[in-house]
Chains A and B, each alone.
Chain A
Amino acid sequence: MGIEPVDVLLAGLGAIALGAGVLVVSTRHIVRAGLWLVVTLGATAGLYLVLTAELVAWVQVLLYVGAVVVLLLFAVMLTRAPIGASDDLDRPRWAGLLIGGGAGLGLAALLVDAYRWSRVESPRTGTGAEQIGAEVFRTWVLPFEVLSVLLLAALIGAIVISRPDIGSRPDNRSEIGRQESRRES
């Protein structure tokens, strides 16, 4: 079992993902942290690609790089996004190191122990789109639907929180109405 090009690619992409990930939490430039997150998630998508999970890789790019990080950057730029280093960042350094490092090491140990040196052949045919579709809508259809209900609940919650004029409690609403009438008078 020699070193194949796939192994080199995996190691390289893994190193990029890890390095950029460390930069995300260690850089003092807030927006740059978000941009380093793009690199991390991109490298992770690359890892999926090397492992022939093509669909998962592009889902990663579409959802995480294209939507989640963009939303994150958007929110940061809306609030406070200074150019250059911010010295007043509140970072629980040791707690973060402990939790992050502990979780990482623990998961790594668990995975190494679970698989040892057993080889798992990656599927050579297909992109996984059909298999994933069949699995999700046959075997896993119930969790899938439950998840969508959860997302719907989150969506409605977000609307209720961001729109005080359609708030949940009547007394709450009258309070806002009173404030508004005060402002008008």
Chain B
Amino acid sequence: MPVWAELLIRVVAVLVAFLTLPLIIGQAEHKVMAHMQGRLGPMYAGAFHGWAQLVADGIKFVQKEDVTPREADRAVFRLAPIVSLLPYLLVLLVIPLGPHGLVAQPLDIGLFFVLAVVGIGVVSVLMAAWSSANKYALLGGLRAAAQLLGYELPFVLAAASVAMAAGSLSLSEIVRAWQPWWLLWQLPAMLIFFTAGLAEIRRPPFDMPIAESELVFGYMTEYTGLRFAFFLLAEYVGILVIAALTTVLFLGGWRGPFDDAHLGWLWTLLKIFAVAFVIIWIRVSYPRLREDQLQRLCWLVLVPLALAQLLLTAAVKLAL
């Protein structure tokens, strides 16, 4: 197969995953929330188990008028939703689905790449917040920036722990080096990474930047129609990315009960959806953290814990 054809297949595969998996997660969120909170729409829409709910949402967004506030910085305002999607699309390129190079673009420092690119997301939030010319949006954006900058630290430290354990920054190598007993050894790191990941994608209970009861809708207040849908899509892709990273780094990626060589992709996807389910479950179960509680949790709990985990990882690594 010529190089360009292979490249084309890989890119198209990632695009397809980018366009379908977040929608599945979106529909799953509707259904799970409907069952847990007794919401009626997603139960009945379209007659058969509410299959049409997401389609109806999509049609609704397309129909809405695309409003740009008069005082807004138009160029930045229009660019922000696209910038929010781009980092996650790039991250999907390096997440391994199975063994034997079943990954769109293997990178030797894949983990580092992922951490760097996820960090760009905050720029889009600041762009949206500032360019809206709305005080609620600006407040939401400042909250988001403070939150993302803070939680980046435990996020990176927890990922560094697993990279130390595996002795590699390549995501495929980390999965290859993974052993079941790491579930215990790296358990604190996994919990820290998962929690910080939730905060990175601003999911409840870390949705203080959006906080609809006090900030209308935070930095997304002025967005309507398709641009708003872009932000929602970015949120679902964010769930996918955090679930996939947790799977690959801490849950053994493609390692399953049997036949990893051929069914590896299935194990990866199953684990990703299991983690995504937990993310949705947490959303309906926990109340929103107040801004000071949120910062306190990050700086006084997660960062020291992550540093302790690094020490533990180093100690075990040296002892072995």
Contact = CB atoms under 8 A, between A and B. Distances in A.
A67 B116 contact: no
Contact of A55 (B109, B130, B133, B146): B109
Contacts of B107: 54, 127
Interface string B157-175: 0000000000001000000
A182 B148 CA distance: 39
Interface stretch (A2-10, A58-66, A106-114, A145-153): A58-66
**Interface size range on A against B:** 20 to 34
A54 B130 contact: no
B49 to A, nearest CB: 41
Interface residues of B, number: 31
A129 B149 contact: no
A62 B123 CA distance: 12
Contact of A126 (B108, B116, B142): B108
B304 interface: no
B142 A66 contact: no
Given A58-B109, A70-B145, A74-B149, A31 B116 contact: no
27 contacts: A32-B73, A35-B123, A35-B127, A54-B109, A55-B109, A58-B113, A59-B112, A62-B119, A65-B120, A65-B123, A66-B116, A66-B120, A66-B122, A67-B119, A67-B149, A70-B126, A71-B149, A74-B126, A74-B145, A74-B146, A77-B126, A83-B72, A83-B133, A84-B73, A126-B108, A129-B108, A129-B169
Interface of B: 71-73, 76, 107-109, 112-113, 115-117, 119-120, 122-123, 126-127, 129-131, 133, 138, 141-142, 145-146, 148-149, 152, 169
Interface of A: 29, 31-32, 35, 38, 54-55, 58-59, 61-62, 65-67, 69-71, 73-74, 77-78, 81, 83-84, 126-127, 129
